[in-house]
Structure 1
Amino acid sequence: MDVIATDEDGLSARYGPRPRTTPHAPHSQIDQIPADRRQWGQLLLTALYALPGVETGGSRRAPPGTVGLYLRHGRPQERPRAFLLGHEFAHVHLEDDGSLHTVLPEPLRSEAIAKGWAEPHPLAGYPTVSPDTVMIYAPRNQEEVKMVAWLVRKAHAYASDSVGAEPAF
């Protein structure tokens, strides 16, 4: 099953109010945590494993149990703000709240925040934390998994295009 939305689908508004989150690191979602978050997280990760050049492992930026997504052949030194740390461009809090962190380029970052899918990381812009780092809220159903996967695919494209022109979003 393909859970990644197409570019034609675009980014719809997320239904309902934003979840509450911690205002500090570790940045976590406090409510609206789906009971079946592991199921949705596994479905999301299955879609993301298929992205070109992606490897997984423990996150270097998040608590144990968090699955990091790494660009195998990335050049983070050429666009460091496209990465969380080293070659890690996203991580999923699979064992925790089901949310994830990634780096979204503008104007997509602002659109994801405005449409209720994301919020800035509280340390975004501090040394060693990309100013474009966001939390994407835990998906609550299969349609939300599709939208979250679409956003992470855009983060992957941003990180993958580490040389040359900015990617078109």
Structure 2
Amino acid sequence: MQLDQIAPPVMRERLIEFGAGLEGVRLGRSGVSIPESTAFLLAPELAGNGPWEAFMTPQEFAHVHAVWDGSLHMNLPRNVLETVYYRGWGEQHPAAGHFGFPETIAMVYGPRTEHEFAVVAGLLRISHAYAMGSSSLGTNQ
């Protein structure tokens, strides 16, 4: 949970719209977060292409928290996680590597500016590509 420097609600809504526009994604209720969160769920026929480490549940690769928080949890490739942590865009999820969750879950801070939105949307796109099993992942942020 993000405790301060909360993303404005409009940024949260833009992230939801952005994520909903990614190939094979539908919005739904998170299987691992509070009911007010919005999950990004990959269609089952596409989710089978990605590694298990790309998911929190069989189809959920990311979710954005409630409006009073605005942060996201998402699964990212290890090389991208290193960049996220180094650049201060997020931190390792406390459950990463525990309770049957992969080590690839991060909390990404909610965006407050256009620049931060571009970074977080780019990370959400990478999380989606990871879940799709794409081999062309990188960090161009």
Q: Provide TM-score, normalisation by structure 2.
A: 0.90
Post-superposition shift, 1:87?
0.4
Q: Which residue of 2 aligns with 1:49?
A: 20
1:139 to 90, 111, 131: 111
> Are 1:129 and 2:101 matched, yes or no?
yes
- In the alignment, the residues of structure 1 paired with residue 82 and residue 111 of structure 2 have an alpha-carbon distance, to the nearest angstrom, of 19
Q: Which residue of 2 aligns with 1:114?
A: 86
Tell me, yes or no, if the aligned pair for 1:82 and 1:132 is still in contact at 8 Å: yes
1:88 to 48, 53, 60: 60
Q: Provide Cα deviations, 1:52-94, integer angstroms capped at 9, x if missing partner.
A: 0001111111001100000013117x62111011100000013
- In the alignment, structure 2 segments of 5+ residues that lack a partner are none
- In the alignment, the residues of structure 2 paired with residue 61 and residue 167 of structure 1 have an alpha-carbon distance, to the nearest angstrom, of 28
- In the alignment, structure 1 segments of 5+ residues that lack a partner are 1-27
Post-superposition shift, 1:127?
2.9
Identity %: 35
> Are 1:168 and 2:137 matched, yes or no?
yes
Quick check: which one's helix share is greater?
Answer: 2
Runs of 4+ in 1 over 2 A off after TM superposition: none
Q: Which residue of 2 aligns with 1:101?
A: 73
Q: Between Structure 1 and Structure 2, whose CA radius of gyration is higher?
A: 1
Q: Provide TM-score, normalisation by structure 1.
A: 0.75
- In the alignment, the residues of structure 2 paired with residue 64 and residue 100 of structure 1 have an alpha-carbon distance, to the nearest angstrom, of 14
The DSSP-based 3-state class of the residue aligned with 1:101 is strand
Q: How many residues align?
A: 136
2:48 to 62, 65, 75: 75
Q: Provide the aligned C-alpha RMSD in A.
A: 1.5
